[in-house]
Amino acid sequence: MRYTDLLDFAWSVLRGSRSRTALILLAMGIGVAAVVIVSSLGEGARRYVLDQFGSLGTNLLIVLPGRSETSGGAPGFIVGKTPRAITIDDALALGRSRAVRKIAPLIVGTGDVRWNAKIREVPVLGSTAEMLEVRHMELSQGIFLPPGDPHHSQPVCVIGAKVRRELFGAQAALGEWLRIGDRRFRVVGILASQGQSLGFDTDEVVIVPVASAQALFNTEALFRVLVEAKSREQVQHAKDDVLEILKARHEGERDVTVITQDAVLATFDRILRALTLAVGGIAAISLGVAGILIMNVMLISVTQRRAEIGLLKAVGATSAQVKAIFFTEAAILALGGGAVGLAVGKAGQLFIGQLYPTIPFSPPWWAVVAAPLTAVVTAVLFSVAPARRAAALDPVMALSRR
Amino acid sequence: MIRLTDIERKFRVGDETVHALRGVSLDIAAGEYLSIMGPSGSGKSSLLNVLGLLDRPNAGRYELDGRDVTGLTDDELAQVRREKIGFVFQFFHLVPRLTAEQNIELPMMLAGIDPLERRRRLDRLLTEYGLESRARHRPDQLSGGQCQRVAIARAMSMEPGVILADEPTGNLDRHTGQEVMALLEALHAGGGTLVVVTHDAELGNRARRRIRIVDGAIVADARD
Ligand SMILES: Nc1ncnc2c1ncn2[C@@H]1O[C@H](COP(=O)(O)OP(=O)(O)OP(=O)(O)O)[C@@H](O)[C@H]1O
Ligand SMILES: [Mg+2]
């Protein structure tokens, strides 16, 4: 028997009993949708918490001038004397640590950005090529700041999506020269929309080489140094190294603060993840219930279709073919139910997202894969018994009207 | 072509054993036209089911085309049925949700025949049985005679050597019954082996060879 015939035949059965089919699709759909929605809620909560507490990134350390006794939270203010500034050379020296993968110096200021007659006041960030990777930024067009010695600057800049929109409208921005303060910069890249990062809306910033920013804002001092550790495990090591290197460079004085995403956040992450898994698992029980429903409906269907099964056997269907017919039916139902469920789940997630726009609801990938897969597997498993029963039917008995 | 030797078929009903066939031996040559008659409950259907490999005898030997088919597995039997035997039933046994055409197509579909070849055979069968205008009708939209024509076309779709019909006219009025018999006889005229179980002596007597079965045993075997 050909696969297309098998599908056609199963399809004829499903179409022949619409309400039965609709019922099963509904049950399967609800199960899958429940898993998707519930796990989106869990995942949304997790991501929300992580975003709030740790817009830092897991391997990221932030070095800021001034000593603060609080660790992990917002940097406290230094009491007493003004701290020594962190310079570009300080930042470059951090690269010596073996736990550090990359560093990116950061200067922040506000500048008037001009193009033709338009002016916008936006945050201007001064950094280096490394910032792209350290902050996991993405470009929608062009390139990021070119690599090279951070002491020297090239007159180039990368602009956020909103800046591009407001200054250039529908016109091409790449290659255009804009003016920030009294300096001219050529637009080489445009950031992809990403939302918040380090307290800035990346849509609204202009990024220039760090040396240009120093000149623009007339300062040597870095606002922050972003340090990426080689791995999550190396974060503590990197922190120790950073403190040590800067202490040595600052005449034995510990006058910087290093913020890392601390253990609390990791624990939060674990708890929320476990919670998501748990509620997702509970929702998956409804898939099991849907599986049992499929089994019952199929068993009834075998009884109702005794004559048909007997006839199929009389005209030469093997047991394997009879089983395949029932499996195909179950698989189509489960796939259909899975699709319905994913669609309903997605709609539900979007709806809830409308109600709470700040929380990033979206189902974790495992839920999107696991829910329909569970649906198909349960459906096929639960149709084993009905399929067996059908295949074992004695054709003579099935055809007789006794 | 068909050789039955000492076929026994027993059914256990509670504590009792019903002997549906006792020591039936029967030779049927290729191209024969044979009717089986006998009182109700005498074992006619049981015999036909054994002949059609739908049912296994409890004892005895069955050779089909020189091959012993008594010990074949279920799947082997299914294959032999598919290729060599066409059934026609009293209650038609059409799949209600499928159209006439799809019903006729079933055996070819199970056999995995190429769709183009299926279409070719379908067109021929539909014409041959005067069903062109009914091809897309479902069984509940067909008359009894048309249903039985669909069933015969289905039985013929795999071009089997043997046609087994269990009271094919039992559910039809006299006139339609005659028509259906004529169709079956045309198959025989075309070289097929035809075995018809019937209650109707007049129909039964049209066969060249007439078997009478009483209480599970063959009591008469008459030929013209
Ligand atoms: N599955 C079964 N279980 C128990 N007894 C059976 C079964 N099938 C047939 N029998 C018995 O075997 C005997 C022969 O039955 P069969 O159906 O072959 O008769 P028949 O000649 O076809 O009768 P009819 O003309 O009424 O169709 C009957 O006594 C019947 O009750
Ligand atoms: Mg009978």
Prediction ipTM score = 0.93
> Same structural domain for residues A100 and A23?
no
pLDDT confidence of residue B195: 96
Residue nearest to atom 4 of ligand 1 (CA): B11
Strands (E), A66-134: 100-115, 118-127
Residue A186 counted as domain residue: yes
Q: Could you tell me which of B55, B81, B163 has the C-alpha nearest to residue A316? A: B81
**Residue in B52, B81, B91 nearest the CB of A401:** B91
Query: DSSP character for B134?
Result: G
Q: Is residue A66 part of a domain?
A: no
Helix (H, G, I), strand (E, B) or coil at B114: coil
Q: Which residues have CB under 6 Å of ligand 1? A: A 397; B 11, 13, 18, 20, 38, 40-46
Q: Ligand 2 center to residue B167 CA distance, Å?
A: 7
Q: Cα–Cα distance between A214 and A207 in angstroms, integer?
A: 12
> What's the A315 CA to ligand 2 centre distance in angstroms?
19
| Residue A261: inside a domain | no
pTM, whole model, 2 decimals?
Answer: 0.66
Q: What tokens does B56 get?
A: 């296994």
Alpha carbon distance A110, A116 (integer Å): 19
Same domain, yes or no, for A45 and A91? no
Residue located via tokens 């990426």: A228
Q: Are residues A355 and A380 in the same domain?
A: yes
Asked which of A254, A275, A308 is the last residue of a domain, the reply is A254
Rounded Cα gap, residues A257 and A275, in angstroms: 34
Report CA(B201)–ligand 1 centroid distance (Å): 20
From the DSSP assignment, how many helices (H) and strands (E) are in chain B? 7, 10
Distance from CA of B78 to the nearest CA of A (A): 5
Mutate to test the pocket of ligand 1, among B44, B169, B218 (most ligand atoms within 8 A of CB): B44
**Which residue is closest to A5 within chain B, CA to CA?**
B109
CA–CA distance, B162 with B156 (Å, rounded to integer): 9
In the Cβ-directed half-sphere of B80, how many Cα atoms lie within 13 Å? 21
Number of domains in chain A: 2
Residues A129 and A9 in one domain: no
A25 CA to middle of ligand 1, Å? 42
Q: Looking at beta carbons, which residues of chain B come within 8 Å of A308?
A: 95
Question: Which residue's alpha carbon is nearest to atom 22 within ligand 1?
Answer: B45
Average pLDDT over residues B67-85: 92
A119 lies in the same domain as A211: yes
Tokens of B182: 């004529």
Question: Model confidence over B158-204: pLDDT tens digits?
Answer: 999 999 999 999 989 999 999 999 999 999 998 999 999 998 898 89
- The single residue listed with the structure tokens 């007339």 is A218
The Cα–Cα gap between A253 and A214 comes to: 25
Range of the domain at A184: 84-254
Instruction: Quote the pLDDT of residue A234.
Output: 86
Look at residues B100, B79, B107 and name the one whose alpha carbon lies nearest to residue A5.
B107
Q: How far apart are CA B117 and CA A338, in angstroms?
A: 36
Residues of chain A with pLDDT under 70: 51-58, 68-83, 195-199, 261-264, 401-402
pLDDT at position A54 is: 54
- Using a CB-CB cut-off of 8 Å, the residues of chain B touching A400 are 45
Q: What's residue B162's pLDDT? A: 95
Question: Bridge partners of B3?
Answer: B27, B63
Dihedral over Cα of B12, B13, B14, B16: its sign: negative
Domains of chain B: 2-223 (3.40.50.300)
Query: Does A327 reside within a domain?
Result: yes
Does residue A89 sit in the same domain as residue A238?
Answer: yes
Length in residues, chain B? 224
Longest Cα pair distance anywhere in chain A, in angstroms? 103
Q: Where are the alpha helices (DSSP H) in B52-96?
A: 74-84
Select from A225, A254, A283 the last residue of a domain. Answer: A254
Write down the pLDDT at residue A78: 45
Question: From the CA of B199, how far away is ligand 2's center (Å)?
Answer: 9
In B, which residues are within 8 Å of A15 by CB distance?
97
HSE of A367 in the Cβ direction (CA atoms, 13 Å)? 33
pLDDT of residue A58: 67
- On whether any CB of chain A is under 8 Å from the CB of B52, the answer is yes
Q: Say whether both A248 and A289 belong to one domain.
A: no
Name which of B35, B59, B58 is nearest B48 in CA terms.
B35
| Cβ A60 vs Cβ A293: under 8 Å | no
| Residue reference for tokens 């910069």 | A185
Residue B43, pLDDT > 90, answer yes
Q: Smallest CA–CA separation between A305 and chain B, in Å? A: 9
> Of the residues A254, A284, A300, which one is the last residue of a structural domain?
A254
Nearest residue on chain A to B79, judged by CA atoms? A316
Instruction: Examine the domain organization and report whether A219 and A325 are in the same domain.
Output: no
CA distances from A168 to A110, A124, A354 (A): 20, 18, 30
Residues A295 and A233 in one domain: no
Q: Cα separation of A143 and A164, whole Å?
A: 15
DSSP 3-state assignment of B190? coil
- Nearest Cα to Cα of residue A63 among A100, A32, A28: A100
Chain A interface residues (partner B, CB cutoff 8 A): 1-2, 5, 9, 12-13, 15-16, 307-308, 310-321, 395-396, 399-401
Based on the domain organization, do A173 and A318 belong to the same domain?
no
Residues A219 and A125 in one domain: yes
